[in-house]
Chains A and B, each alone.
Chain A
Amino acid sequence: DVKVTQSSRYLVKRTGEKVFLECVQDMDHENMFWYRQDPGLGLRLIYFSYDVKMKEKGDIPEGYSVSREKKERFSLILESASTNQTSMYLCASTPGQGAKNIQYFGAGTRLSVL
């Protein structure tokens, strides 16, 4: 079974802190994604990566950056956390290219910024 592991289930941070959310997948998948999920807004894509050191902006990249130094690990970085970044963050991975890719999700990190 594919496993996507997010390092924290719950995080509480203060405004202005630099925050790292970590995601690791164990199936040698090419692509990794970061979404945020808010009530009534569904899943919104923040960033994705289709190869090591390669990244592309999603629909809402502002205030976020990402890092993919190794194939299995994809980090989401909040450079200076703000209260409007309080949300559920979901990491996902897919094996390769094309439209038939199933997305495999982690359990999510619920971030609260105070």
Chain B
Amino acid sequence: AQSVTQPDIHITVSEGASLELRCNYSYGATPYLFWYVQSPGQGLQLLLKYFSGDTLVQGIKGFEAEFKRSQSSFNLRKPSVHWSDAAEYFCAVGTNTNAGKSTFGDGTTLTVKP
């Protein structure tokens, strides 16, 4: 069965500092990978996705993620964090089922210090 692990429950960075959120997946076939962001009191919104091709993918809000098959990882990065990036971030892997389900990690909460 597929699974997604986000090792960091909570990360604090200073505004303007770089950010990396970790995601490891377990999936038998070619993974389809997603990062979502949830701002306080809101639903989840897609940041970026990886299906195939270039292993470095760009998303919205200046985020990028790199797929590394050898490490089963799909880490999210941003060169310079803004206060508005404070949110919860979820990594997910798509499952090849009849309903287009995804398996989500438990999330990483990002706090941004002034």
Chain A residues engaging chain B, CB cutoff 8 angstroms: 4, 30-31, 33, 40-43, 45, 48-50, 56, 90, 92, 94-103, 105-108
With A50-B99, A90-B44 given, name 12 new contacts (CB 8 A): A30-B99, A33-B101, A92-B44, A94-B99, A99-B32, A99-B93, A99-B95, A100-B32, A105-B36, A108-B41, A108-B42, A108-B43
Q: Mark B35-64, 1 if CB is under 8 A from A, else 0.
A: 010000111111001010000000000000
Query: Can you give 25 contacting A-B residue pairs, CB < 8 Å?
Result: A30-B99, A31-B100, A33-B101, A40-B9, A41-B106, A43-B90, A56-B99, A92-B43, A94-B99, A95-B100, A97-B98, A97-B99, A99-B31, A99-B32, A99-B97, A100-B51, A101-B102, A103-B34, A103-B36, A103-B44, A103-B100, A103-B102, A105-B36, A106-B43, A108-B41
Q: A105-B45, A108-B41 are in contact. Are A42 and B104 (CB under 8 A)?
A: yes
Name A40's contact: one of B41, B93, B97, B106 (CB within 8 Å). Answer: B106
Name B106's contact: one of A42, A48, A105 (CB within 8 Å). Answer: A42
Chain B residues within 8 Å of A100, by CB: 32, 51, 94, 100
- B2 CB to closest chain A CB, in angstroms? 9
Cα–Cα distance between A108 and B99 once the two chains are bound (Å):
21
B44/A48 in contact, CB under 8 A: no
Chain A residues within 8 Å of B41, by CB: 107-108
Name B100's contact: one of A45, A99, A107 (CB within 8 Å). Answer: A99
Residue of A nearest to B46 (CB): A102
B101/A97 in contact, CB under 8 A: no
Residue of A nearest to B43 (CB): A105
- State whether the Cβ of B96 lies closer than 8 Å to any Cβ in chain A: yes
Name A50's contact: one of B9, B34, B93, B98 (CB within 8 Å). Answer: B98
Chain B residues within 8 Å of A56, by CB: 99
Q: A42-B104, A105-B45 are in contact. Are A99 and B99 (CB under 8 A)?
A: no
Which of A4, A50, A97, A99: most chain B Cβ within 10 A? Answer: A99
Chain A residues within 8 Å of B49, by CB: 102
A4/B106 in contact, CB under 8 A: no
